[in-house]
Amino acid sequence: MGSYRFILSGGGTGGHIYPAIAIANELKVRYPDAEFLFVGAKDRMEMEKVPQAGYKIEGLWISGLQRKLTLKNLMFPFKVISSLMKSASIVRNFKPHAVVGTGGFASGPLLKVASGKGIPCVLQEQNSYAGITNKLLANKVAKICVAYDGMEKFFPKDKIVKTGNPVRGDLVSLVENKVEALSFFGLQADKTTLLVLGGSLGARRVNVLIEQSLPLFKEQGIQVIWQSGKLYYEEYKKYESGDVKVVAFLNRMDLAYGAADIIISRAGAGSVSELCIVGRPVIFIPSPNVAEDHQTKNAQSLVEKDAAIMVRETELDEKFETVFLELIRNMDLRGKLGANIKNLAMPNATKEIVNEIEKLLVQQ
């Protein structure tokens, strides 16, 4: 047959956008002549990130429901109707052979229209607690690719395939030469290295914690790579020293992970999947400000397997120092957490998801 056409839809946050781009890249490797179209929400970050990755994108006028009565909520029914009409027009004109939804509000109308026209649709759910859009679409799609066990409480069991979450390719071949990684950051080979990840924008509460804990780290002879996020860099760069490297953003995540002995991180789905591949002991501090408390549930699913430690934001003042010192001093605990989290890694997730899409193409 001629070249395939694929629509990928998802967005609102990097957690939905980057998996969609990774899936498109893998499809492109297998089908170099294929055509791709992304569909996102008009005013969200996908409108910038997707073209940067080299793909065309169309925007829908859609947003989530607010938790309280606002003007935005009153507009919601009009946005849904508008988005369904535009989705119908996109599907009619582009004539996709398959549609992939990675979560976020924009994927709702698009996949509803496409599945209604009998086009094979695949959902990719990154979190251990399914998002509202994916739950609403579950009965309409052909396959649902997940990253956690126990997802049959949200989705029909016969549609679920456990593939893991797509992660960036450079992590799968992680830098194992620790000396090279440490010298990149100007750090010493004989000290324990802590890597702090607050996400690309940064996490206010995590930064406050690190600032308060700098004397503790110094006392313990620990050196720190502190990714403060671009919103907070100006505030915290004054702490830069021989043992503390403060950066707004990490362009070489492979080297940052390669240098780390211990990691403190938020618990977004993408971060959790990456950290499984990295295989270092992690203290998760989940963000309490995300929909349906996804991050706490993601972290909890690792804690239950003895694969990570979690400290909630509300417990940091009373618990963090004790938990941290135990991890620093107990090499057995560090070894166990590192080995257990690595056992959960699914480095071939992107390929497995595309395998599922291929099976549906063959059936057409």
Question: Any known ligand binding at 168?
Answer: yes
Q: Which of 104, 121, 103 is nearest to 112 (CA)?
A: 121
Q: Could you give the C-alpha distances from 352 to 44, 85, 183, 230, 274, in angstroms and in order?
A: 28, 33, 36, 34, 16
Q: Distance between CA atoms of 122 and 69, rounded to whole angstroms?
A: 33
Helix/strand/coil for 22: helix
Question: Any known ligand binding at 14?
Answer: yes
Tell me which amino acid residue 277 is: I
Residue 325: enclosing H or E segment and its boundaries?
A: helix 316-329
Q: By the 8 A CB rule, do 268 and 261 touch? A: no
Q: Which of 189, 273, 360 is nearest to 15 (CA)?
A: 273
Question: Any known ligand binding at 67?
Answer: no
Question: Any known ligand binding at 329?
Answer: no
Q: Could you give the C-alpha distances from 166 to 145, 271, 345, in angstroms and in order?
A: 11, 11, 11
Question: Any known ligand binding at 295?
Answer: yes
User: Which residue spans within the chain are E strands per DSSP?
Assistant: 5-9, 35-41, 57-60, 98-101, 121-125, 143-146, 160-162, 192-197, 222-227, 244-247, 262-265, 282-284, 309-310
Question: Any known ligand binding at 104?
Answer: no
Q: CB-based contacts of 78: which residues, under 8 Å, 6+ apart? A: none
Question: Any known ligand binding at 221?
Answer: no
- Indicate the annotated binding residues: 13-15, 127, 168, 200, 295
**Residues contributing to the annotated binding site for UDP-N-acetyl-alpha-D-glucosamine:** 13-15, 127, 168, 200, 295
